[in-house]
Structure 1
């Protein structure tokens, strides 16, 4: 039988953090579902219960549901198009953002040279670029993917550069003590240590990818959800337009959850070395 460490008389025993349990906990599913129920309840109360908002501007949830069931044959294929544009644009921005962030982290001169330009590009209102993108890159998928890229790449670049330039001192000293080459130090120490920070940027960029896809569809001929929102709003069918908006929100939640799952699977040591909430 293992001996317990002695404690000072009269002093409380130190708290021991409970071990983490793997798997899906009921609260991980129940609490988001409860939050969704509360949000829908508040929506119903504002629109149908207290009549604080006119149905023309914000239809009640039951009207949106009827609109979805009546126009599902149009909205579901549009959801597929928007999801594809979101995922492809996000993947392109993730690859380019990580590479640009690595280049900025590797050279202080490059960071000083190009960081102000990246900030300037990020500060430009992207919705103002929509009509210009159609003229510049033409119709089709290109303006949508370009809009997604413009909205997503900056937080990924920033998080990658930050993660690669804030390697813990003890890990960097360990790599130097082992006479590791630059590539060995980068591959074994710096990049793995930067991955949690990189995933922060990716998770910030994921909802922006959905926003970029919808904005791009406003100025494109692709019949995605953004295109459908404009069409139904133009004929005064706000309930169906809001059904498309709800689908965009649900799509964003699912993609964010999938990215979070990838992070948990790719970085199992993060949860083991950080404090639990």
Structure 2
């Protein structure tokens, strides 16, 4: 592998020299770009990701001098994908440069894909605010290309993160809207009950007994079949246990549902929050007696 890196370094030096040689005849940026691209490939073979990323940045700068924005964007994206293995901050910075150029030349689908990728990187860093921002950008771009399915995938991620950050109303509105869209599509309508369950769990997190009761009525109006589902029964049982301030009944309802349909980590986290609220309420009642 070290031999490949040495070859990459030789080619990079040749490219740098072409750019600084004032005697050079022809288009020095075209020739340098060709050498930088070859150098980057050798660095990648040698798994020297930082060197590969840095050379792709030089390649992008050459393409900018040549007014080749598509190629420059591709090079910035290649730089980002090399840095993805070693330096998340640098990776995001280079992907952002790619997005800016791609949006300038109207490549919205690819811009959306990179925005989604940036969002995922922020998720890994636990920066949920930034992740939501980039999922929102990706969603808007996908909608601009009428890629509704991809847009909704991004919106669902926004809803999940909003709920994690206790922005429950924001999450509820997204889940309910996507449920409505699903109900109007024969291929997707079966999935509506899952979105309504998520919205209902967020309603429970708000701690408003009246709001969740109203929401359950609303969801049955939206989807007449919802009242016969296990998702509805879970929400109804949880609501009843909250009204009765019965932690055991609350836990049993979750166990019953989970025995048939495994609850994911997101739902479990939110339901634990609701359970903690219920426990606190129960303890308050005990203190008063």
TM-score, length-scaled by structure 1: 0.24
Relative to total residues, which structure has the larger helix share, 1 or 2?
2
TM-score by length of 2: 0.23
Comparing both chains, which one has the higher relative contact order based on Cα–Cα distances under 8 Å and sequence gaps of 6 or more? 1
